[in-house]
Amino acid sequence: MSIDLKNDRIIRALLRQPVDTTPVWIMRQAGRYLPEYRRIREKAGDFMALCKTPELACEVTLQPLMRFDLDAAILFSDILTIPDAMGLGLSVIEKQGPRFSHPVRTSTAINKLGVPDPETDLRYVMDAVRLIRRELDGRVPLIGFSGSPWTLATYMVEGQSSKTYSIIKGLLYDEPNTLHKLLETLATSVALYLNAQISAGVQVVMLFDTWGGILSPRAYREFSLKYMKAILEQLEREFNGVRIPVILFSKGIGAMVKEVAETGCDAVGLDWMQDISSLRKKLGDKVAIQGNLDPAVLYATPDVIKAEVAQVLEDFGAGCGHVFNLGHGINPDIRPEHVKVLVDTVHEQSMPYHKVG
Amino acid sequence: MSIDLKNDRIIRALLRQPVDTTPVWIMRQAGRYLPEYRRIREKAGDFMALCKTPELACEVTLQPLMRFDLDAAILFSDILTIPDAMGLGLSVIEKQGPRFSHPVRTSTAINKLGVPDPETDLRYVMDAVRLIRRELDGRVPLIGFSGSPWTLATYMVEGQSSKTYSIIKGLLYDEPNTLHKLLETLATSVALYLNAQISAGVQVVMLFDTWGGILSPRAYREFSLKYMKAILEQLEREFNGVRIPVILFSKGIGAMVKEVAETGCDAVGLDWMQDISSLRKKLGDKVAIQGNLDPAVLYATPDVIKAEVAQVLEDFGAGCGHVFNLGHGINPDIRPEHVKVLVDTVHEQSMPYHKVG
């Protein structure tokens, strides 16, 4: 397996196989905290131009790998490419987050939405994947991703992020069938999109369910988890005889993470509010775990960063199935030197947990 | 007990004693969703002027009781009165939230902070409590409250709410002793303040730990829960021979709510991401539970509101120890008629769960 990879630690850890040291990558590792990223972004003009130009997306994807000993690359893209391809008009404004110029809020608008064809409507993503794979040359695996149907729907209905999510919650409670129709279209679209990413070359896929945590447990099951399960059923879990691990990450869902672990995914992402030690016990050998350092630890001094990284490693303990990561994306005002401390500490301090015998 | 109260359902439910129907109140029930509130607030000029004028605070406290069959009044005030009394200069700007003109960020600034004397520095709160008790005339109990030390500290250090809480988290990880010193001063201040509220007449007290959920489990224990426990130890739990129930509410803390239930408080508040049914089983007879309807349900139609209220009642089930509430404060754009549907439905639909025999 993964014979074309010089470093397959992440794949192995996601499949709960032995590794020499705990693999690590960082959500949003290609991003604004890197001065070389900010330079390219300025040149590109705006965020979506960067995503839509495969050469630039490739360059940005590889930037953090030049600086840090990361065990994976993650495609530089946005979680909202699918609704953009559906014609909602995505723009990502610095410090304000994503916005859609044409939100969808009615059953008529939702029924009109088509399922994007990945190789035509999202061709720029597939081209970026192919280019990055070529440039990576097997150094580390490439992670592909999408927003979850529920998370895509929140932005598509609200038009932007929200404090109260009153519009989509109104739909959820008053017109659940309309919302289900939207989520079905999205689940089909996401599955097609991720399968196309796999065909183009991604070696791991991840679903980001950023807003799963705003739902009650009952609503989470019905409007978020259900559609992540539907995607899992449609995903190619093997490509050319190589297993493609799938990571599900719903932020802020507390105890519901146990139900995520039972979906058939390979790994669950944990935010930093979760106790990785007790969860590992509860989840048993069902899944691998990705996470879960508080992203704010990176504001602290190197000694504190080392101690907090060591604490997460100790909390997870010995054995297979841990991919180190932050519990959320890295903040734009973090110093790159601190990321180096984190990455190196994970590799150095985790070795004793992987000794055989 | 509570012989001077015409309706003591909330006190009884918080102490896990039998009631005829489930009591209900709503976080932020005196607030912007009521046109009569907006009129007074406009007259007062700004939010803090409203808090600091006992006659207006009293009028506003009583407003929701004129419209709805609520089982408690809650003092109209802010969770941040203590740091304001410490000299940090609080202003509450509509749609932007609270701001301090003089945040504290250094050990020197923190060491200089005094413990406010409630009857002088926060006299306006005590006067409001006395006036409201007189006006309520025993109709329902009056709830007093404060922000938790951790939540007060987040605003005091950041100066306002934040997306990343990088300043206070930097302090937490780099200078934990400085932060502990601040939290100790706050715990002493909050205990004195709540005891003064009790002497002035409040019959229930509640700690709002709005930002407990941004902490890792370890940090939550050390920087939030510990100081709520310290307050519990210093609180007068009886006044004039009458028990004063204490409610602790940390938002977004997931599984940590079990540790909150073990602090010795009388009740825990649950946000809407918690499963009230399984938590009731886990918490057993340790504490009463307050919550936990998704505040967004109030955007839905009356029939949906009724069904969702019925669902929470069914999830809690038969027996003692439930105070109905939203899982967070009511949003300003909710229609008051929908609140009436909620309150009346709680009373009507919960009766079967309280039948004896």
Query: pLDDT band at A338, cuts 50/70/90?
Result: very high
The amino acid sitting at A74 is I
Residues A320 and B312: their CA atoms lie apart, in Å, by 40
Query: pLDDT band at A3, cuts 50/70/90?
Result: low
Q: Nearest Cβ partner of B173 from A165, A219, A308?
A: A308
Residues B48 and B39: their CA atoms lie apart, in Å, by 15
Residue A49 host element (H or E) = helix A47-52
Whole-prediction pTM value?
Answer: 0.96
User: Shortest CA distance to B145 belongs to which of B222, B210, B70?
Assistant: B210
Query: pLDDT band at A356, cuts 50/70/90?
Result: confident
Note the pLDDT tens digit of each residue in B226-241: 999 999 999 999 999 9
The DSSP output letter for A177 is H
Contact B175, B110 (CB under 8 A): no
* Predicted local distance difference test score (pLDDT) of residue A74: 98
Residues A176 and A168: their CA atoms lie apart, in Å, by 10
Pick the CATH number of A9-354 from 3.50.50.60, 1.10.3470.10, 3.20.20.210, 3.90.1150.10: 3.20.20.210
B144 at the A interface (CB within 8 A)? no
The ipTM is 0.94
Of the listed ranges A95-99, A128-132, B49-53, B155-159, the one predicted with least confidence: A95-99
Residue B288 bridge partners (DSSP): B267
Chain A (29-68) residues lying within 8 Å, Cβ to Cβ, of chain B:
none
CA distance B59 to chain A (A): 28
Note the pLDDT tens digit of each residue in A154-191: 999 999 988 889 999 999 999 999 999 999 999 999 99
Chain A (284-343) residues lying within 8 Å, Cβ to Cβ, of chain B:
294-297, 299-301, 304, 308, 311, 327, 331, 333
The amino acid sitting at A351 is M
Those residues whose C-beta lies under 8 Å from the C-beta of residue A8, and which sit 6 or more positions away, are A1, A2, A141
Segment B10-35 shows an average pLDDT of 97
* Predicted local distance difference test score (pLDDT) of residue B357: 56
* Predicted local distance difference test score (pLDDT) of residue B285: 86
Segment A50-66 shows an average pLDDT of 97
The hierarchical CATH code for the domain B32-285 is: 3.20.20.210
Residues A68 and A340: their CA atoms lie apart, in Å, by 6
Segment B293-316 shows an average pLDDT of 97
E-strand ranges in chain A read: 73-74, 90-93, 97-100, 142-147, 204-209, 238-239, 242-243, 246-250, 267-269, 288-293, 322-326
pLDDT value at A95 more than 90: no
Instruction: Find how far residue B147's CA is from the centre of its chain.
Output: 8
A164 at the B interface (CB within 8 A)? yes
Residue extents of the structural domains in chain B: 32-285
* Predicted local distance difference test score (pLDDT) of residue A357: 56
Cis peptide before B240 (omega within 30 of 0): no
Query: Catalytic amino acids of A?
Result: 28, 32, 41, 78, 155
Note the pLDDT tens digit of each residue in A255-314: 999 999 999 999 999 999 999 999 999 999 889 999 999 999 999 999 999 999 999 999
**Mean pLDDT of all residues in chain A?**
96
* Predicted local distance difference test score (pLDDT) of residue B355: 87
Residue A153 structure tokens:
């729907």
Query: pLDDT band at B1, cuts 50/70/90?
Result: very low
Residues A281 and A320: their CA atoms lie apart, in Å, by 13
Note the pLDDT tens digit of each residue in B212-226: 999 999 999 999 999
Phi first, then psi: what are they for B110, rounded to 5°? -70, -40
Q: Give percent of chain B with pLDDT exceeding 70.
A: 99
Q: What SS3 class is residue A138? A: coil
pLDDT value at A94 more than 80: no
**Mean pLDDT of all residues in chain B?**
96
Length, in residues, of chain A: 357
Note the pLDDT tens digit of each residue in A73-82: 999 999 999 9
* Contact state of A273 with B294 under an 8 Å Cβ cutoff: no
User: Shortest CA distance to A310 belongs to which of A320, A297, A296, A319?
Assistant: A297
